[in-house]
Amino acid sequence: MARSSVIPAPMEVRPAQGQDFRLGPDTAILTEPGSARARHIGQYLATLLRPATGYQIPVLDADLAGATTTGQERGASAATTPGTAKAISLRLGGGGLGPEGYRLNTTADGVSVRADAPAGLFAGVQTLRQLLPADIESPTPVAREWTVPGGAIADRPRFPYRGAMLDLARHFHSPDEIKAFVDQIAAYKINHLHLHLTDDQGWRIEILSWPKLTAGDGGSGVDGAGGGYLTQAEYADLVAYAAERYVTVVPEIDMPGHTNAAQVAYPELNGGVAAAPRTDPEVGYSTLRIGDEITYAFVEDVVREVAALTPGPYLHVGGDEADATPDGDYRTFMRRIIPIVERHGKTVLGWHEITKADPPASVVPQFWGTAGAHPEVAAAATRGARVLMSPANRAYLDMKYTPDTPLGLDWAGYIEVRDAYEWDPATQIEGVGEAHVLGVEAPLWSETVRTLADVETMTYPRLPAVAEVGWSAPDRRDWESFRRRLAAHAPRWTLRGTAFHRSPQIPWE
Ligand code: TNX
């Protein structure tokens, strides 16, 4: 039953008997007249549907196709288009469910997706994709019926930020690998991709004003393997690719700790003494020099270039594990660089240690601790900050599933699928409730992770769990339901060639 396998679970699903829609060779996609973005989403959907169905699936402006629908029309009738049988329509307006919400109505005559904004249409398209049989993910034609179950879905996310993170510093991932990852996460309505671009082992983004940062592959990786870096053109291309999939890239420049690679490339950032390259996974030994003016010239240049390449609202400044930076220096540093980032038009994200610096309420702390009392994070929330939730014992994709998992670390414990699923972002930190939570993010640190298959094995099936934690209302979430729905996704991953962990907690088909 495809309907019951949608992840993340939609807000409201009302089945309608006898109203299943069958795609056919004559099925067209009709998009909002005059909207280039709706048209683009229509083309994206057609690209998803063509390989397995073998149908042509033309994409047309709804009015050019002779549609008589108006913005006032609601529900399934909007999919009925005189002159064009069997259409999927993507229309803007009349959704009433916020910037990412959508209504998806299916009758025997067609499917209509309606949303107030393109992001909602895109989310609706991902739901439609999951309503079709798993074979829809086949890269080659499959001779079968393509049925969408009849009924009405109304959906919107609980939190606006649902993210995943790749660590390019400990082992680099190529632009093509990152694009493949973007394609996968967008299917689960993950709308932010955080890239950890700099660390002790390597610097992975070209900075024109400090070119030695990426000389020699931007340093090495953990165990001396996995160097590489993104040119500015590659980064800009990735950002655009992600944006077409409604994924916002969040670049991270980690400071004042995790800076050894920069201090290898530029001894002047290290008091004139070249730092030694490091390929071990240790943390907490490096720091920028808080009293040196060149530190701030460096930050200014890097932030200016990265901000200019990044259309999204956020720039992540790291701030974690700065054990080699005394607390007073840490505050001095953060209080000086936060205004630099804001002057370049970006909202500051920082690992939750940033709350030690009493930052302004505009700064978003990313919580990576475990549940309980965190007075500095709670104080930031009380001052009006919104918190991004990445509890390490729930959302960390680099933790092993069990002691037997070949990849991964275990400092935050083992995280099986159920652990990744059964937690609530609004009850992790005392004093940080629903209204203080911006959303959730699942970080994948890459000390042990190299290939795309490694990335996938750690990500699936835990990322879909975190996606549902971030999207679905608490009353829509249920472990028994989730594990059954998740099982139905394995054939999709297999058809797409996505590796995943065969957790014994899931009744795989
Ligand atoms: C802690 S989580 C780190 C990273 C490591 C990670 C490994 C955080 C903000 N910092 O430097 O890669 O543990 O799990």
- The Cα 4–Cα 112 span in angstroms is 19
* CB 367 near ligand 1, within 6 Å: no
Neighbours of 350 (CB within 10 A): 27
Is the domain of 78 the same as that of 166?
Answer: no
* CB 321 near ligand 1, within 6 Å: yes
- The Cα 218–Cα 343 span in angstroms is 27
**Structural domain tally of the chain?**
2
Q: Which two tokens stand for residue 296?
A: 């701030």
Is the domain of 446 the same as that of 354?
Answer: yes
Give me the mean pLDDT over the 384-405 stretch. 98
Q: Which domain holds residue 29?
A: 3-155
pLDDT range class, residue 85, cuts 50, 70, 90: low
Is the domain of 176 the same as that of 151?
Answer: no
* CA 258 to ligand 1 center in whole angstroms: 10
Backbone phi and psi for residue 34, each to the nearest 5 degrees, phi listed first: 80, 0
Residue 375 belongs to domain with CATH number: 3.20.20.80
Backbone phi and psi for residue 302, each to the nearest 5 degrees, phi listed first: -65, -45
Q: Amino acid letter at 177? A: E
- The Cα 349–Cα 345 span in angstroms is 13
**Which residue among 234, 300, 321, 422 is the active-site one?**
321
- The Cα 100–Cα 154 span in angstroms is 11
Residue 87 belongs to domain with CATH number: 3.30.379.10
Q: Which of 155, 180, 196 is the last residue of a domain?
A: 155
List pLDDT tens digits, range 184-224.
Answer: 999 999 999 999 999 999 999 999 999 999 999 999 999 99
Give the angle subtended at the CA of 350 by the CAs of 348 and 352, to the nearest 5°. Answer: 135
Residues 135/495, Cβ–Cβ less than 8 Å: yes
Quick one: which atom of ligand 1 is closest to the CA of 351? 9
List pLDDT tens digits, range 263-309.
Answer: 999 999 999 999 999 999 999 999 999 999 999 999 999 999 999 99
Is the domain of 172 the same as that of 304?
Answer: yes
Residue 148: pLDDT above 70?
yes
**Buried/exposed 13-43: b ≥16 CB within 10 Å, e otherwise:** beeeeebbbebeeebbbbbbbebebbbbbbe
* CA 446 to ligand 1 center in whole angstroms: 9
Q: Which of 6, 88, 84 is nearest to 42 (CA)?
A: 88
Q: Which of 155, 187, 212 is the last residue of a domain?
A: 155
Question: pTM value?
Answer: 0.95
Residue 78: pLDDT above 50?
no
Give me the mean pLDDT over the 245-266 stretch. 98
Q: Which two tokens stand for residue 88?
A: 């999927």
Q: How far is CA 319 from CA 21, 25, 103, 350, 469, in A?
A: 52, 55, 41, 6, 26
Active site residue 321: yes
* CA 428 to ligand 1 center in whole angstroms: 19
* CB 333 near ligand 1, within 6 Å: no
* CB 122 near ligand 1, within 6 Å: no
List pLDDT tens digits, range 363-374.
Answer: 999 999 999 999
Q: Which of 122, 155, 188 is the last residue of a domain?
A: 155
* CB 210 near ligand 1, within 6 Å: no
Residues 150/105, Cβ–Cβ less than 8 Å: no
pLDDT in the model for residue 66? 56
For 333, which DSSP code?
A: H
